[in-house]
């Protein structure tokens, strides 16, 4: 499902990753560990196609080479990333963004159905009433931003083949851990694969059987 061969990544004049190799089958979760600065987040951003990262080697998703494919095309091909620090987007409210996601990902449903679905997701994750009317993450706390991005991951779960989770539990209350576990399990059950970066000890123990330590890579 995800095959990475001799992947190196440079930001500016600094090399962060050097000859990383991963063969992650469908239905599996890989725990990515390592010291601060070892390149855990950079690995996920490189797979997602962040523009300022110069990457060499090979990244194959579902048999398709994507290392030279733009970020938005990787998203359309089923790669989704939950960021450690999700950004805010001025001038665009949350519902407008979900409408664009629905259109780009060819998800069936009327505007009314989308509003009903997103409101249910916001309520499920514990975001405030009227969240869909707010500008995207503007003025939101770190936990609210993370919850907002998790709702996108759940909304797109049937489209996601490669799920990249960068500290998905940061800023969230203890009760949200189970929602993350459920999302990982659902992705695996649909033959997707997951790369998980987390400092949460319970999550690390749960997925420790299959892990990559970048400190030793």
| Least confident window among 22-26, 66-70, 178-182 | 178-182
CATH code of residue 16 = 3.40.50.300
d(CA 75, CA 69): 10
* HSE of 34, CA atoms in CB hemisphere, 13 A: 21
Tally the domains of the chain: 1
User: 2-61: per-residue pLDDT in tens?
Assistant: 999 999 999 999 999 999 999 999 999 999 999 988 999 999 999 999 999 999 999 999
Q: What is the pLDDT of residues 99-150, one digit of tens each?
A: 999 999 999 999 999 999 999 999 999 999 999 999 999 889 989 999 999 9
Q: Could you give the CA distance from residue 22 to residue 170 in angstroms, rounded to a whole number?
A: 25
Residue 96, domain extent: 2-216
Q: How far apart are CA 165 and CA 179, in angstroms?
A: 13
Over the range 122-158, which residues count as b (16 or more CB within 10 Å of their CB) and which as e? beebebeeebbebbbbeebeeebbbbbbbbbbbbbbe
């Amino acid at each position: 499902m995800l095959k990475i061969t001799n992947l190196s990544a440079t930001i500016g004049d600094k090399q962060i990753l050097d000859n990383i190799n991963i063969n992650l089958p469908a239905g599996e979760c890989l725990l990515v560990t390592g010291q601060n600065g070892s390149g855990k987040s950079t690995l996920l951003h490189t797979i997602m196609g962040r523009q300022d990262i110069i990457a060499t080697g090979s990244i194959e998703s579902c048999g398709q080479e994507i290392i030279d494919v733009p970020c938005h095309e990787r998203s359309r091909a089923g790669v989704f990333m939950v960021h450690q620090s999700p950004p805010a987007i001025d001038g665009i409210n949350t519902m407008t963004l979900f409408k664009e996601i629905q259109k780009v990902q060819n998800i069936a449903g009327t505007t009314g159905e989308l509003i009903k679905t997103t409101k249910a997701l916001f309520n499920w994750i514990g975001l405030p009433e009227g969240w869909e009317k707010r500008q995207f993450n503007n003025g939101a706390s770190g936990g609210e931003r993370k919850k907002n991005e998790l709702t996108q991951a759940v909304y797109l779960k049937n489209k996601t083949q490669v799920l990249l989770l960068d500290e998905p539990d940061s800023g969230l209350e203890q009760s949200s851990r189970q929602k993350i576990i459920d999302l990982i399990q659902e992705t695996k059950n649909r033959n997707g694969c997951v790369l998980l970066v987390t400092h949460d000890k319970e999550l690390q123990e749960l997925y420790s059987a299959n892990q990559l330590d970048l400190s030793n890579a």
